[in-house]
Structure 1
């Protein structure tokens, strides 16, 4: 297993994706299609919704391929 992690930077959240862990369940694209859209490059748009909403949705990822870091908002 490689440790290829892709990072998608938003104003308030960084979305981290490990493609080798993804089981292609579709939970991400079905639940937040404005943020996760495989027809678009980059396929993750972290500013398309509130950071908290994205974080709650990423927590539903069954494989753990998606992770996030909420950025400090000072």
Structure 2
């Protein structure tokens, strides 16, 4: 399956990994091992640090294999309120 994106959902950030783009530079695991740990499954823990810190680190990915979406707390709160109505 080409162009398969793997999603890792956190409370405040969703991290996307595209393995076919990865050049295995090691920037992610060497620079932020609490979030990116190849010895764990899943290997990305989007709740292991602040969403802002993870986003800043992902911006350093040289291949673009890692991407993120910061989750808007206001939207998630409204979504929960709507679901509970």
TM-score grouping bracket, smaller chain normalisation: over 0.9
Is it true that 1:15 corresponds to 2:24 in the alignment? no
* RMSD between aligned residues: 1.1
Structure 2 runs not aligned, ≥5 long: 75-85
**1:55 partner SS:** helix
In structure 1, what is the Cα distance between the partners aligned to 2:45 and 2:4? 19
Aligned to 2:51: 51
Displaced runs of 4 or more, over 2 A? none
Higher relative contact order (CA closer than 8 Å, sequence separation 6+): 1
In structure 1, what is the Cα distance between the partners aligned to 2:38 and 2:25? 13
* Rg larger for: 2
Q: Greater share of helix residues, 1 or 2?
A: 2
Q: TM-score, normalised by structure 1?
A: 0.97
Displacement of 1:2: 1.5
Q: How many residues align?
A: 74
